[in-house]
């Protein structure tokens, strides 16, 4: 069974093609495998022989992904966590709480239980593709996400530096309160948060191996993000 600790920062190479793993090894700590963007994800896991542990994500359309069937995507995730190479699974907070899609609630909770029984880390994720909420709401979202999952992930669209500062402040507050979180600002005004957030406690970074295959707006390429984070943490 693959192991992946989020006690310190983990840089994941986001991809829908596991054949990119060799190119990511020198810079990434893990692979985020986007099942919803892959042609035949379980077949890809069958033949995966890479050295990097995998975080599996099967993002629904209601949170910016391509998966249209709740039943199918949870079935795929349930099968994926059985693979020894899979060390973590992303589950949307809206599904875990039933606030966004009530039909997914039971499946999400069942998947979380199965993952934890297999020592697979659960990342409870929230994505806001329109705005960055006020700090009080950011604090609440991170607390709920980090409670529902083992890691609470929050990605918001930053329209200006004030949004970026609010996200970093919430990251710092959550970390000071003993929560394990991962945060990032999407879009150009939030781009720098992907490199700076680890200084404030964010435990996961996401970057494509090939910049043309970015899975979220404002991502750095993998090599660049590794170099910046390494330099910043070295001098912090």
Tell me which of 153, 159, 172, 192 is the catalytic residue.
Answer: 153
Structure tokens at 84: 């020894």
CA 206, CA 130: separation in Å to the nearest integer?
19
Strand residue runs (E) in the chain = 10-15, 30-34, 54-57, 86-92, 121-128, 151-157, 181-186, 204-208
Return binding residues: 32-34, 59, 194, 215, 219
**Close Cβ partners of 230 (under 8 Å, ≥ 6 residues apart):** none
DSSP state letters, 138-195? HHHHHHHHHHHSSEEEEEEE--SHHHHHHHHHHHHHHHHTT--EEEEEESGGGTTHHH
Return binding residues for 3-dehydroquinate: 32-34, 59, 194, 215, 219
Residue 192 designated active-site = no
Tell me which of 127, 159, 172, 192 is the catalytic residue.
Answer: 127
Catalytic residues: 127, 153
């Amino acid at each position: 069974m693959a192991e992946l600790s989020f006690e310190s920062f983990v840089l994941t190479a986001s991809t829908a093609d596991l054949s990119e793993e060799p190119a990511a090894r020198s810079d990434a700590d893990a692979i985020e495998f986007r099942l919803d963007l892959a042609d035949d994800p379980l077949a890809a896991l069958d033949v995966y022989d890479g050295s990097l542990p995998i975080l599996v994500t099967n993002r629904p359309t209601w949170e910016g992904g391509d998966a249209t069937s709740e039943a199918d995507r949870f079935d795929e995730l349930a099968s994926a966590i059985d693979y020894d190479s899979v060390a973590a699974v992303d589950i949307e907070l809206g599904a875990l709480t039933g606030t966004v899609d009530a039909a997914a609630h039971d499946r999400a909770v069942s998947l979380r239980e199965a993952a934890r029984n297999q020592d697979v880390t659960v990342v409870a994720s929230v994505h806001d593709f329109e705005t960055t909420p006020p700090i009080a709401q950011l604090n609440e979202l991170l607390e709920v996400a980090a409670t529902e999952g083992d890691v609470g992930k929050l990605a918001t669209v930053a329209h200006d530096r004030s949004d970026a500062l609010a996200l970093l402040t919430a990251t710092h507050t959550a970390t000071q309160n003993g929560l394990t979180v991962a945060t990032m600002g999407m879009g150009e005004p939030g781009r720098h948060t992907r490199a700076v957030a680890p200084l404030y406690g964010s435990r996961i970074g996401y970057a494509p191996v090939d910049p043309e295959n970015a899975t979220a707006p404002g991502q750095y390429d993998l090599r660049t993000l590794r170099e910046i984070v390494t330099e910043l943490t070295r001098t912090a």
